[in-house]
Amino acid sequence: MSPAGQPTTRKPRRVRAHWIALAAVLVGLALALTIQGYMRHLAGIGDDSVPSSGQAGSVPQAVSQGGPIVDARGGTVRAVRPPERTLALTFDDGPDPTWTPQILDVLARHHVHATFFVVGAAAIENPGLVQRMVAEGHELGVHTLTHVDLGTAPAWRRQLEIAGAQEAIAGITGRAATLLRPPYSSENDAVTDGTWAAMQTAAQQGYLTVLTTLDGEDWQRPGQSAIERNLTPSNAQGQVLLLHDGGGDRAQTVAALDSLLGTLPGQGYHVTTVGDAVGISSMRAASPAERVSGTAFVWGIQLSDAVITAVSWTLLASGVVTFVRAVLVVGFAARHRRAARRALGAVRGRRRINAPLRHGVVEPVSVIVPAYNEAAGIEAAVRSIAASTHPVEIIVVDDGSTDATADIVASLDLPAVKLIRKQNGGKPSALNEGLRAASHDIVVMVDGDTVFEPDTVRALIEPFADPHVGAVSGNTKVANRGGILGAWQHIEYVVGFNLDRRLFDVAECMPTVPGAIGAFRRDALVRVGGVSDDTLAEDTDLTMALCRDGWRVVYKDDARAWTEAPATLGALWKQRYRWCYGTLQAMWKHRGAVVQGGQAGKLGRRGLGYLLVLQVLLPLFAPVVDVFAVYGLIFLDPIRIAALWLAFLAVQLLMAGYAFRLDREPLRPLWTLPLQQFVYRQLMYLVVIQSVVTALAGVHLRWHRMERYGSLRVPPAPESPA
């Protein structure tokens, strides 16, 4: 209740503009895909010689036995044919960029005009040819938008097909046509009840239907002579001739037409358009509204074509990138494994002969544990580190916790543990406080929700035998991997993070030593100014700073740390949002590495480039891929689309199986991998989109602390590799 005693009302949650923009983009893409699917895949130019099958009981005798030009406007039916020795020359299925220009050239050479029944989709693809037809005095007719059989199409589609073709003609030429030829129609006696219903619908919109009397059958490509015979009248009766300027190879059509136009006038025949043959003006100037509507329609289709073309190329590029990434990470992981085995063999050999190990490996190390409200897991974390087989100094920095974190650490009464209490200042300040208190040259940083295995510290610091190594990343494992969300994160840690770290190690461009487990040279940390609070991903920022300072950063897969992962989608979103946003901040902060040389250049050109392409650009495009997949299932070959998805999944499974083998993990969780593609993957992509928009908008993102569950236990260490 408010102080005045009035009930308070909850402020409605504001929908952020970028989500509205993303939804608009996806809706627009879905609309473009729907248009493309309709225009390109629900119909198509086919065999015009085969009439629609069906009954003809409702077809009037005036139509079935009348002339080829049918006027059913006004409720009455008239069917006429051209006068004697008059041949109406018609072409279907165009325009075609190859054959229509050749046919127009033949007509111009013989000074003959013809009627072209154009398919709307083809007209939009070749607007220049349609404009040329009109400019050269030819007549246009409607042959539907996508060459659909009007006799079997539902009423809504008949309206759309006829209106769409008319819009295309009006938008391209500024003229409107009144002649219609239904696809798959032929002579009058082949009109079925369905076709007649379509003709009546068209008549209500002011169209005359034009059938045919002599079919050249050029669609069969029977040869030039056969086409000429088919179109040569046997008497003086007027005819409507049918040829095709689209739909296939029309070389024979062009040759036959040239020959016919050279002989028919000499036999007393007049070859002309349908309108001229029956004495009507079949085309009129489109109204201003029709021109605007038609132009918008044409532009809309052309825009959808351009969008889908761009998407298709981008999809191809993303597929290539994904495949190349899979090959790279597996190849580099195998190389990293071989190098690790050689190093392990060398260490074991020195131990067998009691040879001294090089400086930096046998000395004690300082372990810094920054803690803020970590009461649920701090005891397990500290006790696990204290049980290390390598001598350690443990510094727990309580960063102003409001729970019992500090009291729990104090009550452990462990001799190697030093507790520092400070006012809350954030994780970087806690780490820097611990760094100032550290006594040793090597510093290990551990999150307060993480537990170590006994040999973790020893394995983690082994690479410091190389004086060029400034930091080492350990292998973070998900402790609470029960349930499907835990299994998904477990897969991501093993397959995504750890495979990438192996690649980064070999390529000498490690961008992140995770806060859960990382070791550093104290001198290197001091040289870069300690842990910065410039970004929300202080671990990534610090690692990049070390690389730019010339240090090598490596990965030790046998230095395992067990951490709690988010147990709800909301908690996961907050964690990954902070990670991704912080990584973007760090990438921008260290963008100058791209033009540097040495270790910094490797980070800039290899590491930052990899992150930009694989972790920023590719996820940004991922929703488009999903929408396109739905499009493929509906409009393309669903079996082919499913096969491609299964092939992609098979690659993922093979890569995951190899990664699990490297980490010596059981394969059981991989049964959830197919499900991961439908929920978890989309969530991660949306996180990237949100982070990129937030970064571009310059919004300051506050720290998101993850909820602790108290599930930490030290699991038994896996067997050492043979």
E strands present in 375-438: 392-399, 417-422
Task: Report angle CA 51, 53, 54 to the nearest 5 degrees.
Answer: 135
How many whole angstroms separate alpha carbon 507 and alpha carbon 502? Answer: 9
Catalytic residue among 71, 92, 218, 399: 92
Q: Phi and psi at residue 442, in whole multiples of 5°? A: -110, 130
In this structure, are residues 159 and 144 in contact, taking their beta carbons and an 8 Å threshold? no
How many whole angstroms separate alpha carbon 507 and alpha carbon 635? Answer: 43
Q: Phi and psi at residue 309, in whole multiples of 5°? A: -60, -45
Assess whether 455 carries a catalytic annotation: no
Distances from the Cα of 379 to the Cα of 366, 416, 429, 449, 705, angstroms: 18, 14, 22, 10, 19
Question: Do you find a cis peptide bond into 95, omega within 30 degrees of 0?
Answer: yes
Give me 502's structure tokens. Answer: 């192996």
Task: Report angle CA 656, 661, 662 to the nearest 5 degrees.
Answer: 100
Q: Phi and psi at residue 636, in whole multiples of 5°? A: -100, -160
Helices H / strands E in the chain, number of each: 26, 20
**DSSP secondary structure letters along 485-522:** HHHHHHHIIIIIIHHHHHHHHHHT------TTSEEEEH
Catalytic residue among 244, 336, 490, 590: 244
- Chain position carrying tokens 């404009």: 131
Letter for the amino acid at 679? V
**DSSP secondary structure letters along 328-393:** HHHHHHHHHHHHHHHHHHHHHHHHHTTPPPPTTSSS-EEEEEEESS-TTTHHHHHHHHHT-SS-EE
310 Cα distance to chain centroid: 11
Give the number of residues written for the chain: 722
Sign of the CA dihedral with 436 first, then 438, 444, and 446 last = negative
Supply the DSSP symbol for 477.
E
How many whole angstroms separate alpha carbon 481 and alpha carbon 670? Answer: 12
Half-sphere exposure of 391 (CA within 13 A, CB side): 7
C-alpha distance across the termini of the chain, in Å: 68
Assess whether 92 carries a catalytic annotation: yes
Give me 706's structure tokens. Answer: 């993850």
Give me 653's structure tokens. Answer: 């499974």
| Strands 69-71, 208-210: pairing kind | antiparallel
Name the region of 154 (left: φ>0; alpha: ψ -120 to 50; beta: rest). beta
**DSSP secondary structure letters along 559-621:** EEEEEPPPSSHHHHHHHHHHHHHHHHHHHHHTGGGGG--HHHHHIIIIIIHHIIIIIIIHHHH
How many whole angstroms separate alpha carbon 63 and alpha carbon 70? Answer: 7
Distances from the Cα of 33 to the Cα of 22, 26, 632, 634, angstroms: 16, 10, 9, 10
Widest pairwise Cα distance in the chain: 118
- Chain position carrying tokens 């005045």: 4
Contacts for 699 with CB less than 8 Å, ≥ 6 apart: none
Closest CA to 499 of 672, 662, 673, 322: 662
Which residues are known catalytic residues?
A: 92, 244
